[in-house]
Chain A
Amino acid sequence: MAVDFDLIVAEGLAALAAADGSGALERWRVAHLGRSAPVMAALGTLGALPKEDRRAFGQRGNQARQALERAYEEAAARVRQAELSRDLEAGAVDVTAPGRRRGRGRLHPTTRTLRKIYAIFGEMGFQIYRSRDVETDEYNFSLLNIPPHHPARDMWDTFYTTAPNVILRTHTSPGQIHVMRERCPEPIRVILPGMCYRYEQITARSDIQFYQVEGLAIGRRITMADLKGTLTAFAHALFGSEVRTRFRADHFPFTEPSAEMDVECFVCEGQGCPVCKQSGWLEILGCGMVHPVVLQNGGYDPREFSGFAFGMGPQRITMLMHKIEDIRYFFSNDVRFLEQF
């Protein structure tokens, strides 16, 4: 029986060319490569052929089948590719439409600034020490070299409670005494953060509650040069390594000598602008060498030990960095403010 394999292949390829899409292709595969396909049927007759013809017949038949299979694979790949392209095209989205927001949580801006301060001083070996908000008059004033009725007390407008000698701390400085008494005679490097309270009118520039961050370093050879170096390093880390600092004499009863550190205004680079009130400088913190009376009250002998302390307002720093004009934003908690951080 003569089988025209060439014809089978030619007919198959012609039919394949007409098959578009994966359905037609599958039908073609069943028709031309399935069990009852002509080439398969022809190969199925192989056993009935004379022995001497079988080899040549089988060879031709297999070649024909392989040719069809190859053609099929190529066509299938083409169809898959075409279909994928169609899908991709159909699945395009408008990437300019807004993304899906899950609603991110945020830290309070003061927490962010506090963490920055912790991190900078942490690198310089300062630990964090916290103490209570409601204090005794003794810790808030007397032990810090501010005796009762002393004119220096006018520097702090104080909230008194109905309990005798119990006040709301006006600064984080009572923590200096707490930490010294706890750790004496170890050397100390601590940052004392916390909420403070002042009997003041609530305005855009002052609030009855505010955060303060204080620092204290006590050791056997700590100098005012170390104070200047440490705080300048802090200013560089927080505001940029190019800002200049200046130290002016000032007065705090618990430090002597005392100073105010100004940072060159980073808004106008020292040229004068509304943020620095045209002065070119921003008041950032008060500082000084720990007063010998305070050292003594903390248990340290001023003949052996010296130290420095400093205090700043993280809210004020946040205000300067982000040009915030009203300190009341911090505790009024309007999400339209908070969401900007």
Chain B
Amino acid sequence: MRVPLTWLRDYVAITDTPDELASRLTYAGLEVEGIEYVGLAPVTRPVAGLPAAGRSGPAARGLAWDPATIVIARILEVLPHPNADRLTLLRVDDGSGAEPVVLTGAPNVFHLKGAGPLPKPLKIVYAREGAVLIDGHKSGREIITLKRAKIRGVESSSMACSEKELGISDEHDGIIILDDDAPVGAAAAEYMGDVVFEIKINPNMARNACVLGIAREIAALTGAPLKPPALGVTQAGPPIAGRVGIEIREPDLNPRFVLGLIEGVTIAPSPYWVRRRLRLAGTRPINNIVDVTNYVMFELGEPLHAFDFDALVRRADGRRPTIITRRAGPGERITTLDGVERALDPFTILVCDEAGPLSIAGVMGGAETEVADTTANVLLEGAAWNLVNVRRTMKAQDLPSEASSRFARGVHPGLAEKGVVRALELMRQWAGGTVARGLVDSYPGRPGPVVVDITPAEVERQLGLRVPAGEIVRILRALEFSCEVVGDASDPAAVVRATAPDHRLDIGSGHAGKADLVEEIARIHGYERIPETMLADVVPPPHPNRDLEREEQARDVLVSLGLQEIVTYSLTSPEREARLALAARPEGGAEIPYVRLANPIVVDRVVMRRAILPGLIEAAAANSRNTDRMAFFEIGNVFLPRPEEALPGEPRRLALVLSGARTLPGWQQGDRAAMDFFDLKGVIEELGEALAVAGVEFEPGERDGLRPGRSAAVRAGGEAIGWAGELHPTVAGRFGLEGRAVLAAELELDPLLRRAAERFTVRPVPVYPPVKEDLAFVLDRAIPVSRVQEVIRAAGGPMLAGVALFDEYAGEQVGAGKRSLAFSLTYQAPDRTLTDADARKIRERVARALKDELGAALRA
């Protein structure tokens, strides 16, 4: 919200500099997001009493008007330009005694050209040579210095200013014509210079979406008294009673409806100071009647609506109009002020008369009954609407406006009457006319008083700071609560009984109400006065998070194995995942549906992932252009809808992708071969070992998406936990990784980590030396290594401490369909040094078992 400083000063004395005020408001929860200087010059001095370091305010911008060169002047006569029909020369009195002539193209004085000396000179803002202004002819806000120039043969060194040239608005259709009270010769900055604060209004501060609200906060923060605008109206006309009726059909949605009437107004522009304020506040002046409704909305926070009363009477065929508020009927439509014909949702509440809808309540008026240049009699509406309902309508119709957004945040029904009274009086002052006596006020939803009891002890329990009852009362009264103290004010148990003022909807009852008051007390007393202490409360009992510990341990292991951790989006698209066939059927069975977004924002992020690998492979593909070696892992959730439950399962998975050179490029010889299945398997084996998970096994198995003959099912302790293998070349191609061996695995993390042994047993370190022996066997190629190792281990018995494959050979020397596997065997006894005879016995057992069970022949 944009709040001009001069407007604030109508209601509260301000001695702070703009920076200080911005800081004060920001600390109190009214964040000043920007300061715009419109004429006044920034004043900088340290912000007293606030713990700001260095700079503390938002970035300031704007234009300060030099008091010597930008002054008030008056036009004495509008003369024709000798060489240009569209230009005129203004003879002005700038208070200096000289009568300079100013060249202008302003259309709003053109009609006075050649009319001779003006009987009532027009007041303008006059800029002398050297004045710093905004270039009115360029878009944006380009700063220029006024220089002497010759335009069509006439020399000119000064200017009559438009609002744009002074930085008040983007208006450049004519020069500013000031109100009559403007003192000729005075500095313009002094007369009408301003500072606009851009203030963020949080949802709990709806009451402060108006100048009076901000002024009230300043008064509470600084201790200065609040001077609210007078709420009296001169009502010289006949009574309104009997001339218009109100029928509220949905009191829950429309708790109050107030009408006032002013007759015989003259539609005209508002006084210049009003128009300037409205522009600074961010709205466009229209005419004196509409401007009043906007002015009062900015001032008090009550949006108002002005009807052309005669149009209503016409619609009622000359009878007494009755205003009806009700929900929209089926198929009902309305043409709003913006000329759009709108279909209405059944929840929409409308302001109607007996002939049909007049406006969408709280959101936008209808075209037919709006105030026009010919309007003479104005019926003024001040109403209260259910904020939830207005919010829904505003969103459904996509009609956010100053009015609808205020109603959507909540406007207290108490403001309806105040707003109407204030506006009637301003209309009378600015548009003439006679105000009808009294109001028509239907108030079926009058809220009961909101009374909250709070004690200094309760405040201290929340804030850790003693705030005496007297200070609590001072703060709450400054915010216009009515307060009484029950008991001795010096007692921490004294009860401050506070009744919320009739502009606040945010104060709850019971505990919520106490919290609301504690916040007000803390805000105004100052957060910076609350001390900083360390928690002294009871320490909670331990709840070790083993899941996370093991997950982090897994991360550390994978990092130690040279893998880079990756985090990809959980949001993806079915098409992206479908490229990896194995992702589509996570459990190999029927396809599981997706968690699908109802309102996706980008086309390729519409569902929650069911697998991690596709995203990880995408990351590999994106990196493949820039790096030779990719070794990535991701630990994260996948999202699998469950038939009987509203929420999906979110199991954790580990995905791995390896591709490219085994070692980083260097200048010496290294293992530059591309990584293969066994690099991937090694990572998984080492992870299992590091986490002390017994029985991580690989079983040959085909899998959609993986290359046949190079894929395996991974089991932990007998439970299937996922797959590892080389991507099928077709699949790699789909990801843009054609021609590369891409090793990939996706494993269920929970069953793996669940098996991580906390208390694994440590074997004693052998005292006696081991005996090592290398043996090679020739056997059928189809027999898997795991089977051979199994037989060796079983036959070797307890003294066979280690079996390690160190070579594989297939070729002519061993015959077709055969291969030679060479193992390094380690024999070890805990209690003695083994002899050659011991070793021979084990070797013979192993060789015999391999021959008998697998038909293997020991190679010499």
Contacts and interface: CB of A to CB of B under 8 A. Distances in A.
A193 B637 CA distance: 14
Interface stretch (B514-522, B701-709, B741-749): B514-522
Given A244-B51, A277-B59, A199 B599 contact: yes
A255 B605 CA distance: 32
Given A125-B539, A279-B57, A333-B568, A224 B597 contact: no
A223 B54 contact: no
Given A209-B571, A223-B533, A270 B663 contact: no
* Max count, chain A CB within 10 A of own CB: residue among B392, B515, B600: B515
Nearest to A233: B534
B439 interface: no
Contacts of A154: 203
Interface string A272-303: 10000111110000000101110010000011
Interface in B522-543: 522-523, 527-528, 530-543
A281 to B, nearest CB: 7
Contacts of A277: 59
Contact of B637 (A107, A133, A136): A133
Interface stretch (B26-34, B149-157, B441-449, B752-760): B26-34
B55 interface: yes
Contacts of A166: 595, 646-647
Contacts of A159: 597-601
Interface stretch (A60-68, A77-85, A182-190): A182-190
Interface string A190-201: 000001010111
A103 interface: yes
Nearest to A261: B527
B594 to A, nearest CB: 9
Contacts of A149: 388, 391-392
Nearest to B534: A229
Interface residues of B, number: 111
A127 B568 contact: no
Contacts of B29: 248-251, 258
B276 interface: no
A323 interface: no
Contact of A279 (B55, B527, B627): B55
Interface in B423-456: none
Contacts of B408: 151
B810 interface: no
B512 A229 contact: no
Contact of A226 (B26, B515, B536, B563): B536
B519 A335 contact: no
Nearest to B628: A103
B58 interface: yes
A128 to B, nearest CB: 5
B272 interface: no
Contacts of B600: 159
A288 B598 CA distance: 32
Contacts of B518: 256-257, 289
Interface in B787-843: none
Nearest to A149: B388
Contacts of A256: 515-516, 518-519
Nearest to A257: B519
A155 B59 contact: no
Interface in B582-604: 595-602
Contacts of A338: 564-566
Contacts of A97: 667
Contacts of A268: 54
B561 A223 contact: no
A163 interface: yes
A257 B523 contact: yes
Contacts of A330: 567
Given A257-B518, A272-B54, A306-B462, A186 B559 contact: no
Contacts of B534: 124, 226, 229-230, 233
Interface in A241-257: 244, 246-251, 253, 256-257
Given A100-B670, A134-B608, A334-B622, A264 B647 contact: no
Interface in A138-167: 149-152, 154-155, 159-163, 165-166
B646 A136 contact: yes
B562 A221 contact: no
Contacts of B605: 208
Given A101-B664, A222-B537, A251-B203, A162 B596 contact: yes
A296 B622 contact: no
A248 B527 contact: yes
A8 interface: no
B469 interface: no
Contacts of B164: none
A23 interface: no
B639 interface: yes
Given A152-B203, A270-B53, A272-B55, A106 B555 contact: no
B566 A333 contact: yes
Most buried by B among A161, A208, A251: A161
A155 B203 contact: yes
A208 B566 contact: no
Interface stretch (A12-20, A24-32, A47-55, A108-116): A108-116
A69 B117 CA distance: 136
Nearest to B515: A256
A278 B463 contact: no
Contact of B205 (A103, A162, A208, A251): A251
Contacts of B139: none
Given A133-B650, A151-B410, A187 B465 contact: no
B384 to A, nearest CB: 15
B56 interface: yes
Given A161-B595, A222-B537, A257-B519, A132 B647 contact: yes
Given A159-B599, A244-B51, A249-B522, A221 B540 contact: no
Contacts of A253: 203-204
A232 interface: yes
A223 B462 CA distance: 5
Contact of B559 (A105, A135, A248, A331): A105
A5 interface: no
Interface string B459-478: 01111110000000000000
Nearest to A148: B388
A130 B631 CA distance: 28
A309 interface: no
B53 A280 contact: yes
B648 A134 contact: yes
B592 to A, nearest CB: 14
A251 B204 contact: yes
Nearest to A111: B565
A225 B636 CA distance: 37
Interface in A86-124: 97-98, 100-108, 110-111, 115, 124
Contacts of A132: 647, 650
A12 B518 CA distance: 107
A230 B535 contact: yes
Given A102-B664, A111-B565, A334-B623, A220 B537 contact: yes
B52 interface: yes
14 contacts: A98-B666, A124-B534, A130-B548, A133-B650, A209-B570, A226-B536, A226-B537, A228-B530, A229-B531, A229-B533, A230-B534, A249-B29, A256-B516, A257-B462
Q: Which 8 A-B pairs have the closest CB atoms?
A: A225-B464, A223-B464, A249-B29, A292-B511, A219-B537, A105-B559, A251-B202, A270-B54
Given A103-B562, A246-B27, A335-B564, 5 more contacts: A128-B545, A220-B538, A289-B518, A292-B514, A338-B564
Interface of A: 97-98, 100-108, 110-111, 115, 124-125, 127-130, 132-136, 149-152, 154-155, 159-163, 165-166, 168, 183, 186-189, 195, 197, 199-202, 208-209, 217, 219-226, 228-230, 232-233, 244, 246-251, 253, 256-259, 264, 268-272, 277-281, 289, 291-293, 296, 302-303, 306, 330-336, 338-339
